Structure 1
Amino acid sequence: MTVAQTRSTTTNKTLAYPLNAWYAAGWDHEVTRKPLARKIADRPLALYRTEDGRAVALSDACWHRLAPLSMGKVVGRDEIQCPYHGIRFNSAGRCTSMPAQETINPSALVPSFPVIERHRFVWVWLGDPAKADPNLVPDMHQVDDPEWAGDGKTIHAPCNYQLVMDNLMDLTHEEFVHEGSIGNDALSQAGFEVTHTDNTVTLTRWMTDIDAPPVWAGYLRERFPDYTGKVDRWQIIRFEAPSTICLDVGVAKAGTGAPDGDRSQGVNGYVMNTISPETDRSCHYFWAFMRNFSVKSQRITTQTREGVSSIFAQDEAMLKAQQEAIDANPDYEFYNLNIDAGGMWVRRLIERMLEAEERLASVDELRH
Structure 2
Amino acid sequence: MFPRNTWYVAATPDEVADKPLGRTICNERLVFYRGAGGQVVALEDFCPHRGAPLSLGRVCEGELICGYHGLKMGCDGKTVSMPGQRVRGFPAIRSFPVVERCGFIWVWPGEAGLADPAKIHPLPWAENPAWAYGGGLYHIQCEYRLMIDNLMDLTHETYVHATSIGQPEIDETPCATRTEGDEVITSRFMNGILPPPFWQMALRSNGLPDDQPVDRWQICHFSPPSHVMIEVGVALAGKGGYDAPPEFKASSIVVDFITPESDSSHWYFWGMARNFKPEDQALTAQLREGQGKVFSEDQQILEQQQANLLRWPERKLLMLNIDAGGVQSRRVLDRVIAAERAPMQPGGAGIPVTPPTA
TM-score range, shorter chain: over 0.9
Looking at structure 2, the residues matched to 84 and 193 of structure 1 have their Cα atoms a distance apart, in angstroms, of 56
Matches within 5 A, 1:51-90: 51-76=36-61, 78-90=62-74
Determine helix, strand or coil for the equivalent of 2:256: strand
Give CA-to-partner distance per residue, 1:114-155, whole Å, 9 cap, x none.
Answer: 001112110000111121111211123324532112311101
Determine helix, strand or coil for the equivalent of 2:148: helix
User: Which of the numbers 143, 161, 170 marks the counterpart of 1:187?
Assistant: 170
* 1:273 and 2:256 correspond: yes
Answer with 334-343 or 138-147: which moved more: 138-147
Report the equivalent of 2:18. Answer: 33
Report the equivalent of 1:22. Answer: 7
1:282 CA drift (Å): 1.1
* 1:142 and 2:125 correspond: yes
Is 2:98–2:107's contact at 8 Å kept on the other side of the alignment?
A: yes
User: Which runs of 5 or more residues in structure 1 are unaligned?
Assistant: 1-15
1:242 CA drift (Å): 0.3
Q: What one-letter code is carried by the residue in structure 1 that aligns with 2:151? A: L
When normalised by structure 1's length, the TM-score is 0.90
Report the equivalent of 2:194. Answer: 211
Report the equivalent of 1:7. Answer: none
Describe the shift of the 1:92–1:265 C-alpha distance in structure 2 as closer, same or farther (beyond 3 A).
Answer: same
Answer with 122-131 or 222-231: which moved more: 222-231
Determine helix, strand or coil for the equivalent of 1:274: strand
1:99 CA drift (Å): 3.9
Describe the shift of the 1:100–1:227 C-alpha distance in structure 2 as closer, same or farther (beyond 3 A).
Answer: closer
Looking at structure 2, the residues matched to 221 and 282 of structure 1 have their Cα atoms a distance apart, in angstroms, of 37
Q: What one-letter code is carried by the residue in structure 1 that aligns with 2:72? A: R
Report the equivalent of 2:79. Answer: 95
Determine helix, strand or coil for the equivalent of 1:360: coil
Answer with 86-95 or 192-201: which moved more: 192-201
Describe the shift of the 1:252–1:58 C-alpha distance in structure 2 as closer, same or farther (beyond 3 A).
Answer: same
Matches within 5 A, 1:1-368: 16-76=1-61, 78-102=62-86, 104-105=88-89, 107-226=90-209, 228-260=211-243, 262-360=245-343
When normalised by structure 2's length, the TM-score is 0.92
1:225 CA drift (Å): 4.0
1:264 CA drift (Å): 4.2
Answer with 81-90 or 64-73: which moved more: 81-90
Looking at structure 2, the residues matched to 103 and 70 of structure 1 have their Cα atoms a distance apart, in angstroms, of 20
Number of aligned positions between the proteins: 348
Looking at structure 1, the residues matched to 13 and 242 of structure 2 have their Cα atoms a distance apart, in angstroms, of 36
User: Which runs of 5 or more residues in structure 2 are unaligned?
Assistant: 354-358
1:227 CA drift (Å): 5.5
Give CA-to-partner distance per residue, 1:236-293, whole Å, 9 cap, x none.
Answer: 1111110111111000011111245645410111110101111111111001112222
Looking at structure 2, the residues matched to 158 and 227 of structure 1 have their Cα atoms a distance apart, in angstroms, of 37
Q: What one-letter code is carried by the residue in structure 2 that aligns with 1:104? A: R
Describe the shift of the 1:307–1:103 C-alpha distance in structure 2 as closer, same or farther (beyond 3 A).
Answer: closer
Report the equivalent of 2:356. Answer: none
Looking at structure 1, the residues matched to 94 and 336 of structure 2 have their Cα atoms a distance apart, in angstroms, of 23
1:89 CA drift (Å): 1.5
Determine helix, strand or coil for the equivalent of 2:302: helix
